[in-house]
């Protein structure tokens, strides 16, 4: 299966090049970076520390879409939405790891999934998706006197907050509690906030250093607290998940799928 990587020179893009190259049945067929990027024309293998692969990064994705079967995309929302339209036209597999996509963007991705096979998740790792299933169960089991808070920490270069994973975990907690996350989430607290109302799901964001990604969901009740934590030790796990999603989606019908679908968790 011929694969292009969008954001090929980025932190995830370089790891993805290596993992795709190492995966039997997958071929690194192209890389995409924005116009004006100094990475355009660079050899993808060199960037990924593999030595030359003979595959160059382009800022003209259109031509690539005539010869690829899958696109793995860890970029920025604007790029992902433009690429999803091209994936729909080419009817290929599009795996989206990009976070920070708003509601309107999600609608565009849904529309693209009428023709493309799209797998989208705020976190492609097995561990986090398993954690989400646990969070849903714990939230449903514990009563409303257990307050739910989601804490995340990432490296200082991350540009969106809360992280896609924090929102995924918050959504799982909301489903367990039968809450609408858009109405019950509290994303910032400052000054005289008053006491914590029941039925809220709080988010707290930490940024610093080179932390790959750490998430804790807390259930704080009377006299006891349960904490469920995931810590990513490297970016390889996200890339492995994205590759698994690509292989899984190749024989599926057009549609929008989650990592829970890929992993058979729901
Ligand atoms: N779902 C998951 O499991 C994970 C998701 N992520 C998400 O993936 C995304 C990328 O993360 P990360 O690799 O750390 O970020 P980086 O900034 O390192 O990489 C993003 C890359 O995308 C490039 N890019 C920007 N615009 C375009 C465009 N129009 N076409 C092609 N490429 C473009 C950037 O280029 P330039 O710098 O020149 O603008 C950059 O090289 C984030 O949203 C992050 O949250 C990250 C890890 C795991
Ligand atoms: O930007 C990152 O680095 C990560 N982003 C994802 C997110 O927003 O949750 C996944 C992972 O935690 C790393």
- Selection from 114, 59, 121, 58 nearest residue 85 by Cα: 114
Pocket-testing residue among 5, 9, 10, 62, ligand 1, by greatest number of atoms within 8 A of Cβ: 10
The pLDDT score that the predictor gives to residue 209 is 98
pLDDT tens by residue, 89-103: 999 999 999 999 999
Give the number of whichever ligand sits closest to the CA of residue 231: 2
Distance 78 CA to ligand 1 centre (A): 11
CA of 155, closest atom in ligand 2: 3
* pTM of structure: 0.98
What pLDDT tens digit does each residue of the chain (266 aa) get?
999 999 999 999 999 999 999 999 999 999 999 999 999 999 999 999 999 999 999 999 999 999 999 999 999 999 999 999 999 999 999 999 999 999 999 999 999 999 999 999 999 999 999 999 999 999 999 989 999 999 999 999 999 999 999 999 999 999 999 999 999 999 999 999 999 999 999 999 999 999 999 999 999 999 999 999 999 999 999 999 999 999 999 999 999 999 999 999 97
The total of other beta-carbon atoms located within 10 Å of residue 163's CB is 24
Distance 13 CA to ligand 1 centre (A): 7
> CA geometry: angle at 93 spanning 99 and 166, to 5°?
20
DSSP letters of the chain?
-EEEEETTTSHHHHHHHHHHHHSTT-EEEEEE--TT-TTTT-BHHHHTTS---S-BEES-HHHHTTT-SEEEE-S-HHHHHHHHHHHHHHT-EEEE------HHHHHHHHHHTTTSEEEE-S---HHHHHHHHHHHHHHHHS-TTSEEEEEEEE-TT---SS-HHHHHHHHHHHHHHT--HHHHEE----SS--SPPTT-EEEEEEE-TT---EEEEEEEETTEEEEEEEE-S-THHHHHHHHHHHHHHTTSPSEEE-HHHHHT--
The pLDDT score that the predictor gives to residue 151 is 98
């Amino acid at each position: 299966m011929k694969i292009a990587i969008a954001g090929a020179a980025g932190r995830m893009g370089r790891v993805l090049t290596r993992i795709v190259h190492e995966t039997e049945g997958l071929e690194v067929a192209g890389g995409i970076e924005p116009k004006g990027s100094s990475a355009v024309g660079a050899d993808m293998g060199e960037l990924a520390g593999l030595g030359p692969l003979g595959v160059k990064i382009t800022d003209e994705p259109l031509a690539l879409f005539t010869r690829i079967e899958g696109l793995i995309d860890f970029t920025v929302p604007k790029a992902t939405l433009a690429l999803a339209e091209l994936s729909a036209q080419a009817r290929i597999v599009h795996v989206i790891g990009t976070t920070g996509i708003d509601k309107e963007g999600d609608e565009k991705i849904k529309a693209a999934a009428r023709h493309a096979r799209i797998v989208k998740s705020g976190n492609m790792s097995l561990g986090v998706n398993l954690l989400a299933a646990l969070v849903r169960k714990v939230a449903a089991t514990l009563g409303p006197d257990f307050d739910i808070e989601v804490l995340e920490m990432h490296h200082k270069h991350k540009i969106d907050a809360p992280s896609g994973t924090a929102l995924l975990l918050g959504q799982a907690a909301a489903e367990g509690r039968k809450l609408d996350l858009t109405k019950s989430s509290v994303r910032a607290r400052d000054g005289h906030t008053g006491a914590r109302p029941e039925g809220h799901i709080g988010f707290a964001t930490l940024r610093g250093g080179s932390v790959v990604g750490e998430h804790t969901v807390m259930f704080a009740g009377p006299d006891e607290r349960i904490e469920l934590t995931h810590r990513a030790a490297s970016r390889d796990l996200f890339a492995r998940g994205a590759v698994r999603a690509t292989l899984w989606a190749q024989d599926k019908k057009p549609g929008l799928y989650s990592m829970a679908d890929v992993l058979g968790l729901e």
